[in-house]
Amino acid sequence: MLSVTKDLMLPTAITGSYPRPLWFDMSLNGRSFKSALGESLFREQYMDAVAAIINAQEAAGLDIVTDGDSRFDLAVGGKSWFFYPIERLGGIQGARDTSQGWMRRGLRPGQILWEVQEAYQPAVVKGKLTRGPWDYAALWQVAQRLTNKPVKFGAICAPILSSMLWNEYYDDDKAMILDLCDIMNAELRELAGVGCPLIQLEEPPHHSRALLPTTTEADLAFMTEAFNRQLVGVDAEIWVHTCWGNPNQQRTYWETPSYERAMPHLLQLKADVITFECASSNGQDLHLFGKYKTDKKIGIGVVNHCNTVVEPPEYVAGLIRRALEFIPPEQLVITTDCGFGREGLSRRIAYYKCVSLVEGTNIVRKELGLPEAHIRASDPKLYFASNEASH
């Protein structure tokens, strides 16, 4: 149900994660977020970090902001994206050295992604999975009270979460995935129930699995059924984020693949907005939106999370113009390819990528006769005033 972006033209947002301030050195280490807020030092660091991250997005002129996924510990290769929920599930006991997903990639020592997977230690499911203290509602509430802009809350989806689990309890992985989906659904209903206006579920497995010749159409149909199960009765605007992987700001595919085989299935997801990587591939799949029509809004990534070069606004504008050849402006959302992570990018680079995203969008807004976003970071009055005050 469109609510936040219903009347917005070319709205801007980042995917979710944002580099931690260097001074934010506390971790949850498996604790519940609400109990950790009772620790004075954690509370101060966490609140200040989220405020700084939201302020940066506001200064860049983004229409929708996030909490930077600040709940995640500073772990190797974005490990907490998987393990924040896993560490808080019932039915988990022990771990193994590698996941089935990593094994398919044929990694070897001496490769950076080998070191990443070595740190992940996927969990073993020994009993029925049960809901634990994910505290999504409390996390969103802390962030939303720091800003008047809508805060988007993003979370890993259940089907891809299962790829970091070894099933030793359920009859098959499908039964395990469906239990995970029901746990996720209960959490998302609670999150929407406290007023979160925009929820993003991240990384349906369709597009990566569609690259495997062993994946059948029935497999893709099950992934769609499972994904949609998480969203039953969730009263919020729903975004789905897709990308090609972002462990430690590394590409998991050097040559960016195509979404084409997965596209018909992705468009069946019960979402209002679906986002796609476009910057890393230089828009190679934009033509697919002329082939596959939809009434959903389409988010295109216009800055790349996997390099430290800040894209010029003119490049961003060029990608948007090409997207508009296939997607009506009222259906287009402008975003990042993926999250900025906590390890790979500096806060400075992430910030100026946000600024460039909005500046490039403003170029196209002006061409279309739309109102432009105010960017505090680009306001010469503020810049020169601060420099004059220092002399």
The answer for 273, left when phi > 0, alpha when psi is -120 to 50, beta otherwise, is beta
**Residue 273 near residue 5 (C-beta atoms within 8 A):** yes
At residue 84, what is the residue type? Y
Query: Helix 173-193 crosses helix 217-229 at what angle (to 10 degrees)?
Result: 30
Residue 303: CA atoms inside 13 Å, Cβ hemisphere, count? 31
For 91, list phi and psi in degrees, rounded to 5: 100, 0
Beta bridge partners of 237: 198
Burial of 242 (0-12, 13-18, 19+ CB in 10 A): buried
CB 375 within 8 A of CB 359: yes
User: What is the model's pLDDT at position 385?
Assistant: 52
CA distance 36 to 318: 45
Q: What residues pair up with 129 in beta bridges, in sequence order?
A: none
Using CA atoms, how far apart are residues 269 and 225, in angstroms rounded to an integer? 8
Which segments of the chain are extended strands (E)? 90-95, 123-130, 152-156, 165-167, 198-202, 237-241, 273-276, 297-301, 332-335
Residue type present at position 2: L
Whole-angstrom Cα distance, residue 194 to residue 199?
12
Q: Sign of the CA dihedral 236, 240, 241, 247?
A: positive
pLDDT value for 391: 46
Specify the pairing of strand 165-167 against strand 237-241: unpaired
pTM, two decimals, is 0.94
CA dihedral 12, 16, 18, 23 (to 10 degrees): 130
Strand ranges, E, within 76-196? 90-95, 123-130, 152-156, 165-167
Mind listing the pLDDT tens digit of every residue in the chain (391 residues)?
899 999 999 999 999 999 999 999 999 999 999 999 999 999 999 999 999 999 999 999 999 999 999 999 998 888 999 999 999 999 999 999 888 777 666 788 888 888 888 888 999 999 999 999 999 999 999 999 999 999 999 999 999 999 999 999 999 999 999 999 999 999 999 999 999 999 999 999 999 999 999 999 999 999 999 999 999 999 999 999 999 987 777 777 788 999 999 999 999 999 999 999 999 999 999 999 999 999 999 999 999 998 899 999 999 999 999 999 999 999 999 999 999 987 778 999 999 999 999 999 999 999 999 999 999 988 888 766 545 544 4
Of 365, 282, 358, 286, which is closest to residue 323 (Cα–Cα)? 286
